[in-house]
Chain A
Amino acid sequence: MRAILFICGVLLFASCGDDTPKNEYPQPTPFELRVPVGFPLPVIPADNALTVEGIDLGRHLFFDKKLSADGTQSCGSCHNQQMAFTDNNKRFSTGITGAIGTRNAMAIFNLTWVPGGFFWDGRANTLREQALIPIEDPIEMAHDINLLVSQLNNEEFYKEKFGKAFGTEEVDRDKVAKALEQFMLSIISVDSKFDKARRGEAALTPQENEGFDIFMREFRSIDDPRPKGGDCFHCHGGQLFTTNTFHNNGISAEPFADEGRFRVTGLPSDKGKFRAPSLRNIAVSGPYMHDGRFETLIDVLNHYNNGVIRSSTLDPNMKAVDDGLGLTPNQVNSLLAFLNSLTDTVYLNNPAYKNPFE
């Protein structure tokens, strides 16, 4: 065995020769996500372990306007931390050419618990795949990744950061994607009032508790005298407040203007289906739905209460399509109070997620 190691050592040494790069970097520092009890273990890609240096690089890239073709927009331009990384209450985002998108900018947090299917229609299987798409989308940042890689390769600032993160200064497409993936995976929201109440660090008000109860309770038929539930948890249940699944929640009539998940799978049964987003930080991440059609949470609750539209792919659990949920205004207000308790100011103000260039 010693002989084998010796041979390996010789081979390794010989292969490096005199061309050893000038700058050598130590192993990056492992980064451990802080995940409280009650959350699943983080899911980190085996080939992209989180490191302090990788996340730092990803954060710089995320907020660097060089990632757009004309240097006017960064990822952070449409993903504002104060709004759960959504686009400043805009229904659609405006790209560098002035072109306007067709879907609402999605929030960024707890993506370590998204098992694939990023974007409203789930068209990106991995976060690193997702990360590059807006950079190259002609109506968003409209850049060419190969050009971007050349730009970054010419900057000592980035060469050093890539060196620290990945061991070599050479920038390439894969490393850009992995760095952005690391930063986005590091963004965690686990400190809402609701979370603190579950940990015994805060108490929900009676109204918030009633809202949670409605949120979790099954819907009953209109003739049933028992208290009605909002039945929200089927798609937004558990600690993550999403099941990471795709549904038609009855906001559109057929034919669907945006066919959603169907565009990815080609299955007619997927027409009009979109990702059920997490409801964490929902109060600060409006407008709502894939096309931002609802300006306020009250609009959203009114939709579920009495605005569901029947169609051939409506989710079987959208049971209030005929007569509505029948929630009273007080119950709607309680649901609203509960949803507000999901706002996480620790996450919204976390300095680790802020723009490093400001």
Chain B
Amino acid sequence: MNNLIIKSGLVAVLAGMLAIGIVACDPKDPKPIDEEKAALTINITPKWGTQTLEYFTNYTTQAGNDISIETLKFFIDEIELKKVDGTWLKVADVAFLDYAVEANKKVTYADIPEGNYEGVRFVIGVDSISNHADPATFPNDHPLNPLVHKTMHWGWNPGYIFSKVEGRYIESGLSKTFSYHLGLLKFSRQLQFENQLIEIKKGTNNLNFNLLLDKYFNAPNVIDVYQSPITHTMGDNVLAPKLYENTENIITIVNP
């Protein structure tokens, strides 16, 4: 009971301090709040054709494969906006997108310089310095820390797995799987969108993109998943380059 009284007393004191603090606060104090700055949300929606991609749903590829997707994860990095003078301004670093986790389906960056821009570009991958850094050196809430991405690092040697697309299909009555992992700096893909009108102003700004996952299997290279269900990039000079080529036009911008 004594402890309860002390606790109650403390709560009262703290509540009192808070109330006094609010009253005492000088409204002229320069206290920046979120709405006073510009934030940028990058929202990349996976699609299959015109439909929003659904996990564990059958889709037919151009190769005639009936596949379902159950993993789609990738890093984006080096987010840059094109200024009106034609130069590119880096505004944000790496983020981890994982479409199995609601919170990781989009990313919001704070403190983006306000202004009018004419383009945006970013990389699917991880910059070269970070890619070969010790993952443990990143803070525990950083996208590149293993406690955050969990499965996107190759261990000590080659660096990060930039993207993972995994899924399943039925062949001859058997449940089979495919697993495509792309990494290594040579397979880092920069995607650039110019001739846009992008106004970054106070509050949250949105840049929306579609990720056309059907292209990953279909264009320009038709991938036969049944015949080639695996690449983890290492030692693969056939499938990994084809999939990489298929990422060239995989993301489209929706409404700048």
Which residues of B (117-165) have their CB < 8 Å from a CB of A? 134-136, 139-140, 145-147, 150-151, 153-157
Whether B146 pairs with A14 at a CB distance below 8 angstroms is no
Residue A34 lies at the interface, judged by CB distance under 8 Å to chain B:
no
Whether A238 pairs with B178 at a CB distance below 8 angstroms is no
Interface string of A1-43 (1 = CB under 8 A from B): 0001001100110111101110000000000000001111101
In the complex, what's the smallest C-beta–C-beta distance from B104 to chain A, in angstroms? 13
Residue A218 lies at the interface, judged by CB distance under 8 Å to chain B:
yes
Whether B140 pairs with A234 at a CB distance below 8 angstroms is no
A16 and B232 contact, Cβ closer than 8 Å, known pairs A8-B16, A40-B145, A244-B150: no
A233 and B154 contact, Cβ closer than 8 Å, known pairs A43-B140, A220-B235: yes
Contacts of B20 in A (CB 8 A): 4, 7
A316 and B147 contact, Cβ closer than 8 Å, known pairs A40-B136, A41-B139: no
Cα distance, A74 to B150, chains bound together (Å)? 33
Interface string of A318-334 (1 = CB under 8 A from B): 11010000000000000
Residue B3 lies at the interface, judged by CB distance under 8 Å to chain A:
yes
A240 and B146 contact, Cβ closer than 8 Å, known pairs A11-B16, A218-B232: yes
Contacts of B16 in A (CB 8 A): 7-8, 11
The chain B residue with its CB closest to the CB of A41 is B140
Whether A317 pairs with B179 at a CB distance below 8 angstroms is yes
Whether A312 pairs with B175 at a CB distance below 8 angstroms is yes
Residue A269 lies at the interface, judged by CB distance under 8 Å to chain B:
yes
The chain B residue with its CB closest to the CB of A231 is B232
Cα distance, A315 to B24, chains bound together (Å)? 59
Contacts of B167 in A (CB 8 A): 316
Cα distance, A314 to B70, chains bound together (Å)? 12
Whether B8 pairs with A314 at a CB distance below 8 angstroms is no
A237 and B154 contact, Cβ closer than 8 Å, known pairs A8-B13, A314-B175: yes
Whether B3 pairs with A168 at a CB distance below 8 angstroms is yes
Interface string of A267-292 (1 = CB under 8 A from B): 00100000000000000000000000
Residue among A15, A113, A315 having the largest count of chain B Cβ atoms under 10 Å = A15
Whether A243 pairs with B146 at a CB distance below 8 angstroms is yes
Whether B168 pairs with A8 at a CB distance below 8 angstroms is no
Residue B230 lies at the interface, judged by CB distance under 8 Å to chain A:
yes
Cα distance, A314 to B178, chains bound together (Å)? 11
The chain A residue with its CB closest to the CB of B177 is A316
Residue B197 lies at the interface, judged by CB distance under 8 Å to chain A:
no
Whether A40 pairs with B140 at a CB distance below 8 angstroms is yes
In the complex, what's the smallest C-beta–C-beta distance from B56 to chain A, in angstroms? 6
Interface SS of chain A:
loop
Which residues of A (326-350) have their CB < 8 Å from a CB of B? none
Cα distance, A15 to B11, chains bound together (Å)? 10
Residue A89 lies at the interface, judged by CB distance under 8 Å to chain B:
no
The chain B residue with its CB closest to the CB of A15 is B9
Contacts of A315 in B (CB 8 A): 177
Which residues of A (214-263) have their CB < 8 Å from a CB of B? 216-221, 226, 233-235, 237-240, 243-245
Cα distance, A170 to B1, chains bound together (Å)? 9
A40 and B147 contact, Cβ closer than 8 Å, known pairs A11-B12, A11-B13, A238-B155: yes
Cα distance, A347 to B70, chains bound together (Å)? 38
Contacts of B24 in A (CB 8 A): 4
Which residues of A (124-164) have their CB < 8 Å from a CB of B? none
In the complex, what's the smallest C-beta–C-beta distance from B66 to chain A, in angstroms? 14
Partner of A314, one of B136, B177, B230: B177
The chain B residue with its CB closest to the CB of A16 is B6
Whether B155 pairs with A237 at a CB distance below 8 angstroms is yes
Contacts of A19 in B (CB 8 A): 1-2, 5
In the complex, what's the smallest C-beta–C-beta distance from A240 to chain B, in angstroms? 7
Residue B166 lies at the interface, judged by CB distance under 8 Å to chain A:
yes
Residue B91 lies at the interface, judged by CB distance under 8 Å to chain A:
no
The chain A residue with its CB closest to the CB of B17 is A8
Which residues of B (17-62) have their CB < 8 Å from a CB of A? 17, 20, 24, 55-56
- Give 6 new A-B contacts, CB below 8 A, not counting A40-B140, A316-B168: A4-B20, A12-B9, A15-B5, A38-B134, A316-B70, A319-B179
12 interchain pairs, CB-CB under 8 A: A4-B17, A7-B16, A15-B8, A40-B136, A40-B145, A233-B154, A237-B155, A238-B155, A243-B146, A244-B150, A245-B151, A319-B230
8 pairs of A and B residues whose beta carbons are closest in the complex: A15-B9, A316-B177, A316-B166, A316-B179, A19-B2, A218-B232, A243-B150, A312-B175
